[in-house]
Amino acid sequence: MPHAPGSKAERPTLRDVAKRAAVSAMTVTRVLRDDPRVLPGTRERVLAAVAELGYRPNAMARSLRLGHGSGLVGLVVTNLANPFYSRLALGVDSVVAPHGLKTVIGNTRQDLDSERELVADLVGRRVDGIIAVPAGGDQRHLAAAVAQGVPVVCASRPPAGFEADHVLVDDFGGARNATDRLLALGHRRIGFLGPPAAVYTSTERLRGHRAALRAAGLPDDERYVRQGQQDIEQAARAAGELLALPDPPTALFCSNNRNTIGAFRAVTAAGGDTALAGFDDFELADALGLPLIIQAYDSDELGREAGRLLVDRMRSAPGGGAPARRTVLPTRAVQYGTPRPAPEPCP
Amino acid sequence: MPHAPGSKAERPTLRDVAKRAAVSAMTVTRVLRDDPRVLPGTRERVLAAVAELGYRPNAMARSLRLGHGSGLVGLVVTNLANPFYSRLALGVDSVVAPHGLKTVIGNTRQDLDSERELVADLVGRRVDGIIAVPAGGDQRHLAAAVAQGVPVVCASRPPAGFEADHVLVDDFGGARNATDRLLALGHRRIGFLGPPAAVYTSTERLRGHRAALRAAGLPDDERYVRQGQQDIEQAARAAGELLALPDPPTALFCSNNRNTIGAFRAVTAAGGDTALAGFDDFELADALGLPLIIQAYDSDELGREAGRLLVDRMRSAPGGGAPARRTVLPTRAVQYGTPRPAPEPCP
DNA sequence: CTGTTAGCGCTTTCAC
DNA sequence: GTGAAAGCGCTAACAG
């Protein structure tokens, strides 16, 4: 069915359908909403008109009239290129889609201004809820969204300065466990690599790491801690620096997969036998030909749980009734390859 | 529904702001749209009221009144968990976001029904455009969207049965080049692994592979072709089958990264020295300790270009003026490790 | 400079 | 069983 060029390219409206079926707009609505009290004959005619015109109800107009949201869920993440976040997105979508909700992605590139703008835009679009991985400590824009009545769920990092449902990973416990495993292998000088301290997960994981060291009666040597690496190159450089210390660590604990991969590169390049442990599993981690202790967790599930919390919240009192809920996902340790013990077992 | 006294959960509207600032609704609009002809004093009052109420204009109502779309771009992909698609999504978003457009993701899980439903939903939401990686040969739902006046851009696969802008990768050329490289190493029995034949890219790449074989005067042995593998496990199994043939291939060409990784697993497990070539680059491809020829291309750029085509199209005649455009992205060959020549150079 | 009127596409309410 | 009127929140087009 070709369109006559130059004719009105306007999309058909309810009225167009009504006119074509020789009924009123109301009747068309009724047919579309499966109202039982329409004569079969009328229904037929209406459906025929709908098909002929290729009519699609305007969801915006409908939402406006009905007074509810747009049927959208805003997803605010820092970097969709990281498989971690795309998994999260997928998890969210898999839960909210069955409820007729679509997911709008917002990539903030770790930029707080972008995040603010994005959240304001989402609120303006009347999203039914927001799932966010807050980039920084300043979350007033999220607090504002909550104040405006938009349900917010924080994923991977907790809300700061306001109440909201959130899903976290057991960052502290997982990190402590990873470092404990290195300690059990006899390592006594263990380096730490991670993204900037402003990133909640990194700080928590560093806390866990330090707790393990302290429990083992080891000093907390600042020289072995490198925070701030956002990508693989930076991580490799930082790891290289640690390995070049006069008294280099015999093992490294990396608080996210970017840093683990960077450390892997540095260790490989140095040709040494530094042991590696990391947080976040990643594809091909088992194929690197280097032993690796990984604290893994299900990032899909992180998204799904965030989606569940959001849907629950949307359904309950819009006035923000129930108290905020928190879910903490466990991690599990995975050992790839044969563990590397410390080079010289302490006497 | 009892109305809670004092705590009206309703979001403030333009009128609320107007009332509070003691002006008319129109004036508030003008202030918000930066109309120069409002008295500074009035503007102040209005802005104050806006701030006090935390007012956010309702984008849906605005779009409805203005008669234009929702400011959304629909992105239809088969599997966001594949880094390829998340990169694509990121590329799209990076281009459309600066135009004030948000990206709505639609994950179809390779299901044609989901795709149909999704596209219909997006059209109903009055998205300003759709970027799709069509799952199958039946694309009538996309054709319908185009007929309704929604600009559609196909990414990675061409439109079938209708006209639309699209961005492709040089599947044929890249595949032929990869197989040529294996041939140059002396390989004469080369296996092919890929996703189902219904996937356009796979079929094109198989064509390229066969063209290279034919040009080298080699037979096109069906036993060496395995199509249908969607994930790494299936690919590993298929690769294992090829390697177990009485006269096994000495090299494998894999038409996407899932199959390359699967083949890598199988070759490693078999302990043989089968040579590998693949389409699509992937993280850590260089760290597998196995030589690998990869036809790489920029999946971000694929998304960006799709975004550009879409934005261009949206700006030009809404009546579908200009003829459909096509962009083909080049691939480049990357060699990881030292090439593996064929075991016994033909005499 | 500011206000009034009308209506985007849809649906609720109340007639017929 | 069906229709007419009114209005969701916003803004173009005209007053004033």
pLDDT digits 0-9 by tens, A153-172: 999 999 999 999 999 999 99
Longest CA span, chain A: 95
Could you tell me the pLDDT band of residue B33, with boundaries at 50, 70 and 90?
very high
- Predicted confidence (pLDDT) at residue B302 exceeds the cutoff of 70: yes
- Predicted confidence (pLDDT) at residue B55 exceeds the cutoff of 90: yes
| Span CA (B307) to C1' (C16), Å | 53
What per-residue confidence (pLDDT) applies to A316?
81
More confident site: A178 or A3: A178
Q: Residue A102 and residue B105: Cβ atoms within 8 Å? A: yes
What per-residue confidence (pLDDT) applies to A36?
86
Model-wide pTM > 0.85: yes
Q: What is the pLDDT of residues B199-212, one digit of tens each?
A: 899 999 999 999 99
More confident site: B296 or A35: B296
Q: Across residues B52-80, what is the average pLDDT?
A: 95
Shortest Cα distance from B190 to chain A (angstroms)? 24
What per-residue confidence (pLDDT) applies to A113?
94
- Predicted confidence (pLDDT) at residue A227 exceeds the cutoff of 50: yes
| Nearest-nucleotide field for B39 (CA, C1') | C1
Q: Which nucleotides of C are covered by protein (CB under 7 A)?
A: 1-5, 7-13
A81 touches chain B (CB under 8 A): yes
**Cβ proximity of A292 and A254 under 8 Å:** no
Q: Across residues B35-53, what is the average pLDDT?
A: 92
Could you tell me the pLDDT band of residue B136, with boundaries at 50, 70 and 90?
confident
A123 touches chain B (CB under 8 A): yes
Compute the distance between CA of residue A61 and CA of residue B307 in angstroms, rounded to an integer: 27
What per-residue confidence (pLDDT) applies to A338?
80
Compute the distance between CA of residue B194 and CA of residue B201 in angstroms, rounded to an integer: 9
For chain B, percent of residues with pLDDT exceeding 70: 95
Compute the distance between CA of residue A117 and CA of residue A104 in angstroms, rounded to an integer: 14
CB atoms within 10 A of CB B331: 22
- Predicted confidence (pLDDT) at residue B275 exceeds the cutoff of 60: yes
Q: Across residues A69-79, what is the average pLDDT?
A: 95
What per-residue confidence (pLDDT) applies to B338?
79
CA distances from A17 to A1, A60, B123, B153 (A): 17, 18, 17, 29
In three-state form (DSSP H/G/I as H, E/B as E, the rest C), the secondary structure along chain A is CCCCCCCCCCCCCHHHHHHHHCCCHHHHHHHHCCCCCCCHHHHHHHHHHHHHHCCCCCHHHHHHHHCCCCCEEEEEECCCCCHHHHHHHHHHHHHHHHHCCEEEEEECCCCHHHHHHHHHHHHHCCCCEEEECCCCCCCHHHHHHHHCCCCEEEECCCCCCCCCEEEEECHHHHHHHHHHHHHHCCCCCEEEEECCCCCHHHHHHHHHHHHHHHHCCCCCCHHHEEECCCCHHHHHHHHHHHHCCCCCCCEEEECCHHHHHHHHHHHHHHCCCCEEEEECCCCCHHHCCCCEEEEECCHHHHHHHHHHHHHHHHHCCCCCCCCCCEEEECCEEEEECCCCCCCCCCC
For tokens 């959208």, name the residue: A72
Q: Is the CB of A26 under 7 A from strand D?
A: yes
More confident site: B237 or A271: B237
Q: Across residues B172-185, what is the average pLDDT?
A: 97
Q: Is the CB of B184 under 7 A from strand C?
A: no
Could you tell me the pLDDT band of residue A337, with boundaries at 50, 70 and 90?
confident
Residues of B numbered 6-35 whose beta carbons fall under 8 angstroms of chain A's beta carbons: which are they?
7, 9, 11
- Predicted confidence (pLDDT) at residue A5 exceeds the cutoff of 70: no
B323 touches chain A (CB under 8 A): no
What per-residue confidence (pLDDT) applies to B317?
61
- Predicted confidence (pLDDT) at residue A345 exceeds the cutoff of 60: no
- Measured between beta carbons, the chain A residues lying within 8 angstroms of B263 are none
CB atoms within 10 A of CB A45: 18
What per-residue confidence (pLDDT) applies to A344?
62
What per-residue confidence (pLDDT) applies to B347?
40
Q: Which of B284, B332, B312, B309 is nearest to B91 (CA)?
A: B309
Q: Is the CB of A68 under 7 A from strand C?
A: no
What per-residue confidence (pLDDT) applies to B129?
96
**Cβ proximity of A148 and B11 under 8 Å:** yes
What per-residue confidence (pLDDT) applies to A319?
58
- Predicted confidence (pLDDT) at residue B104 exceeds the cutoff of 50: yes
What per-residue confidence (pLDDT) applies to B7?
38
Mean of all residue pLDDT scores within chain B: 92
Could you tell me the pLDDT band of residue B332, with boundaries at 50, 70 and 90?
very high
- Predicted confidence (pLDDT) at residue A244 exceeds the cutoff of 60: yes
Compute the distance between CA of residue B110 and CA of residue B113 in angstroms, rounded to an integer: 9
| Nearest-nucleotide field for A16 (CA, C1') | C9
- Predicted confidence (pLDDT) at residue B259 exceeds the cutoff of 70: yes
What per-residue confidence (pLDDT) applies to A28?
95
- Predicted confidence (pLDDT) at residue A335 exceeds the cutoff of 60: yes
Q: Over the Cα atoms of chain A, what is R_g?
A: 27
For tokens 């559609």, name the residue: B152
Residues of A numbered 256-285 whose beta carbons fall under 8 angstroms of chain B's beta carbons: which are they?
261, 264-265, 268, 282-284
